[in-house]
């Protein structure tokens, strides 16, 4: 049976193939920029795309998934123009992957766009209270059969951040066998929102847009690698609007949108 990651990978592939076929032979010139973005950016990036379109530009096509799935699509030739990852490692993977002369990222286009916080969440009606500190009673709070929802810890950025934080807090051994590893941060969020997991680890911005969950606590930043969202132009892009939208995302209007959704702006 295919894993959650492989299902997400092929779903993204099918979506991108559809977008490319719809663009026709003049793919680069006849379509809006195609932006592949981390799943946690759905609301904020859509808002930014609307603001860009309101200025008379073609609205960018946005495709959201785990950064891991998107990065693999890019190095397999997906017709992307811009990539926004939820961590630097998957952007590094794209930059260093073989298969394209000079690398997959356009020189000089990579920049750190946003920051985020890591949050422990529970269903909105849950009575759980926890103080996130070394050795905190996370396993006990899960109950006898509960699982901790987050991204797949070996691939999805939020899962990697979660494992790192829990390891540094000395609680990873107690919960390692009780992880519900989802294919993206939004899938993990949904497990908690539906009450299928008593606790989850997502980004603070995800918790802010889901009324069916509440934040139990924010992880102190010193326990994990800084959560940074790098933005870059894909080297194969020839779309004339891609650079304009990239610059817009770095400007004050877009910055205000991201901050309103809880992100930190670099």
Output the pLDDT for position 251: 97
CATH code, 118-223: 3.40.190.10
Q: 201 CB contacts (<8 Å, ≥6 apart)? A: 118, 119, 120, 121, 148, 149, 150, 158, 161, 162, 165, 166, 188, 219
Among candidate residues 149, 160, 193, 31, the one with its CA nearest the CA of residue 85:
160
* pLDDT tens profile 149-170: 999 999 999 999 999 999 999 9
d(CA 78, CA 99): 13
Q: Which portions of the chain are predicted below pLDDT 50?
A: 1-15, 17-29
- Does 4-115+228-265 match 118-223 in CATH topology? yes
- DSSP bridge partners of 123: 213
Q: Is the whole-model pTM more than 0.75? A: yes
Report the pLDDT value the prediction gives residue 210, as an integer from 0 to 100.
98
State the pLDDT at residue 101.
Answer: 72
The whole-number pLDDT of residue 30 equals: 61
CATH superfamily membership of 4-115+228-265: Periplasmic binding protein-like II (3.40.190.10)
Query: Domain extents for the chain?
Result: 4-115+228-265, 118-223
- DSSP category for residue 220: P
pLDDT given for residue 103 in this prediction: 84
């Amino acid at each position: 049976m295919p894993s959650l990651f492989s299902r997400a990978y092929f779903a993204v592939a099918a979506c991108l193939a559809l977008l490319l076929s719809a663009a026709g032979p003049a793919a680069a010139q006849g379509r809006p920029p195609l932006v592949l973005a981390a799943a946690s950016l759905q609301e904020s990036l859509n808002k930014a795309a609307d603001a860009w379109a309101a200025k008379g530009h073609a609205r960018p096509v946005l495709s959201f998934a785990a950064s891991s799935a998107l990065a693999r699509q890019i190095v397999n030739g997906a017709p992307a123009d811009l990539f926004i990852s939820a961590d630097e490692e998957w952007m590094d993977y794209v930059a260093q992957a073989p298969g394209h002369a000079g690398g997959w990222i356009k020189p000089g286009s990579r920049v750190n766009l946003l920051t985020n916080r890591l949050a422990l969440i529970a269903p909105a009606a849950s009575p759980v209270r926890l103080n996130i500190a070394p050795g905190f009673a996370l396993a006990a709070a899960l109950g006898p059969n509960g699982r901790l929802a987050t991204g797949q810890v070996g691939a999805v950025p939020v899962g990697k951040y979660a494992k790192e934080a829990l390891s540094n807090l000395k609680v990873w051994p107690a919960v390692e066998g009780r992880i519900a590893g989802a294919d993206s941060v939004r899938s993990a969020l949904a497990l908690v929102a539906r009450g299928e997991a008593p606790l989850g680890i997502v980004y603070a911005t995800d918790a802010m847009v889901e009324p069916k969950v509440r934040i139990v606590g924010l992880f102190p930043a010193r326990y994990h690698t800084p959560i940074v969202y790098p933005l870059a132009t894909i080297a194969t892009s020839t779309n004339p609007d891609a650079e304009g939208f990239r610059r817009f995302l770095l400007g004050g209007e877009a910055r205000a949108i991201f901050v309103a959704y809880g992100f930190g702006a670099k």
